[in-house]
Amino acid sequence: MTTGVRERERKFEAPEDARLPDPGELFGLRVSGHDEVELDATYYDTADLGLARAGLTLRRRVGGDDSGWHLKLPVDADTRDEIRRPLDPATTAVPEELVELVRVHTRDAALEPVAKILTRRRRWQLVDDGGTRVAEVAEDGVHGVRLSPASGEENWRELEVELVGDAPGRLLDAVESELSGLGVHRSDAPSKLSRVLGDRLPAPAPGRTHRTAGDVLLDHLRTQVTTLRAQDPLVRLDAGDAVHTMRVTARRLRSILQGHRRLIDRAATAAVVDDMRWLGAELGAARDTEVMAARFAAAVDAVPDVDVLGPVQAQITRRFGRQQREGRSRALAALDSHRYLDLQARLDDLLDRPPLTRHAAGKPRPELRRAVRAAWRRTAARHDALASAGDAAERDAALHEVRKAAKRARYVTEVAESVLGKRASRLRTRIKDVQTVLGDHQDTVVARPVLRELGAQAHSEGHNGFTFGILYAREAAVAQELRARLPRAWKRLAKRARSL
């Protein structure tokens, strides 16, 4: 059985000559328990250290309270999600469930032992005045062995402070401040493994100077690719909002490439754009169903009990439960497909050998302003087309086109914010205001035919469709109210766009 836990911890260098404080003296906490354990961990990675380069660690550890397989996924500098699997005494092979979770980084390359770390750990449990455990302090004597192809050994001592439960993150800052006064400083290595691997890992990228428009664009693309890949294991684990985040990131990447064709070659990125559109569609079924199910459940809860006739909620659950299962299967099939792995290779090529145009060598400010203005003109043209829409269906379709153009304009504007500053930030805010109105309107457009269908289904099954009629009427009223709000939101956006 796979389980997960979130770790919040900070590591500190503890030289042999450094005086370590009594853990009970740290920020007024009391020691409630103390013990010693020995930990024997073997770390696995690909030959090119694909996991370590992405900030992940995969180990098989014996000893302590949590012997087993541990996969650590980075969240931020102090936080990791640890996925655990129990040990199988019959084999040391990496469990298939964990192999799947790291496939986006391994591309199905073999996982093999790259390091062995032996730790003699002294642990103290710290509690507050109320007796609630808030932290664990560990003093580790570490012996690290780097395995093939370039072997090596190292011994060191470190201090690790891990928060427990809902303990506030500021406690880590308090610990760091207190320890620094004793000559014990935060470790430069984010993990024991990274210290053992040493120069086998690439050096941290230097601070980006953004000397050219291409620099800014590539920096933004790197961030989005990292986000996309970070969501992969979370989607597989069915973590909340992971599908949504991954889908939005795919859309954002596609929009950035499409919105900067003056800076990056259109033909060379066409395959990535197509693949991002495909990925978004494959993820969309799961996400759209999830949103619609929650929307309808909340809508039914808002209807007075006297007006809820028949098994309304059960009918909604039955319909969307099946669709959610089908949508999740579709999303997972996409992540397991050859096309998805090919997309990862294309993204590597895009970042390693970016097909920049000669304009990308230009100064960031004029080039990125030009891209934002082009995206705005495209959005304005879609808005102008509303006037020629005929019936309600054409109007709704035209509003959806404005929404899609506004999304692209927003993502293009995000790229420019680091260069154009507050003007771009304020424009992005106004674009988002319009996008939100149009997005809410599109939700009503999608919801109404489903409600009509559910009402007809209720009738055909011998139930009363009255409640679905109420929900339909409310959706229609919401749509009308949203269309009434659009002119004001658009006027504010247009005014802000003219000032850029």
Angle at the Cα of 104 from the Cα atoms of 101 and 109, rounded to 5 degrees: 95
Q: Two tokens at 465? A: 């469709």
CA-closest candidate to residue 279, choices 252, 311, 256:
252
CA–chain centroid gap for 484, Å, is 34
- Decide if 276 contacts 254 (C-beta within 8 A): yes
pLDDT digits (tens, 9 = 90+) for 439-465: 999 999 999 999 999 999 999 999 999
pLDDT at residue 152, as a whole number: 86
Given this model, what pLDDT does residue 206 score? 61
DSSP 8-state assignment for residue 248: H
CB count within 10 Å of CB 158 equals 20
Report the pLDDT value the prediction gives residue 248, as an integer from 0 to 100.
Answer: 97
Consecutive H or E run containing 193 = helix 192-197
Alpha-carbon span 250 to 155, nearest angstrom: 43
Token pair belonging to 73: 């996924």
Which tokens belong to 48? 């090119």
As annotated, the residues of the chain forming the CATH 2.40.320.10 domain(s) are: 3-200
The per-residue b/e assignment along 179-211, b for 16 or more CB within 10 angstroms, e otherwise, is: beeeebeebebbbbbbbbbeebeeeeeeeeebe
* Nearest-angstrom CA–CA distance, 26 and 305: 56
Cα–Cα dist 352/290, whole Å: 36
Assigned CATH class of 3-200: mainly beta
Indicate the pairing of strand 30-45 with strand 57-62: antiparallel
Residues of the chain with pLDDT under 50: none
C-alpha dihedral (71, 73, 79, 85), degrees to nearest 10? -30
Domain 213-498: CATH superfamily is CHAD domain (1.40.20.10)
Which amino acid belongs to residue 415? V
487 touches 428 (CB < 8 A): no
> What's residue 122's pLDDT?
94
Q: Is the bond preceding 149 in cis, omega lying within 30 degrees of 0? A: yes
Q: What is the pLDDT of residues 464-495, one digit of tens each?
A: 999 999 999 999 999 999 999 999 999 999 99
Contacts 24+ apart (CB under 8 A), 462-469: 463/309, 463/310, 463/311, 463/315, 464/309, 464/310, 465/310, 466/307, 466/309, 467/300, 467/303, 467/307, 467/308, 467/309, 467/310, 467/312, 468/312
Contact between 34 and 125 (Cβ < 8 Å): yes
The DSSP string of 250-299 is: HHHHHHHHHHTTTTB-HHHHHHHHHHHHHHHHHHHHHHHHHHHHHHHHHH
Nearest alpha carbon to residue 400 among 486, 492, 290: 486
Q: Cβ of 415: how many Cβ atoms within 10 Å?
A: 27
- 68, 59 contact by CB (below 8 A): no
**Which residue do the tokens 């664009």 mark?**
217
* Sequence letter at residue 323: Q
In angstroms, the CA 165 to CA 182 distance is: 27
pLDDT of res. 94 = 97
Beta bridge partners of 85: 69
pLDDT of residue 275: 98
* Domain span(s) for CATH 1.40.20.10 in the chain: 213-498
Give tens-digit pLDDT for 2-36: 788 999 999 998 877 777 777 777 667 888 888 99
Q: For 131-190, where are the alpha helices, taking DSSP H only? A: 170-180
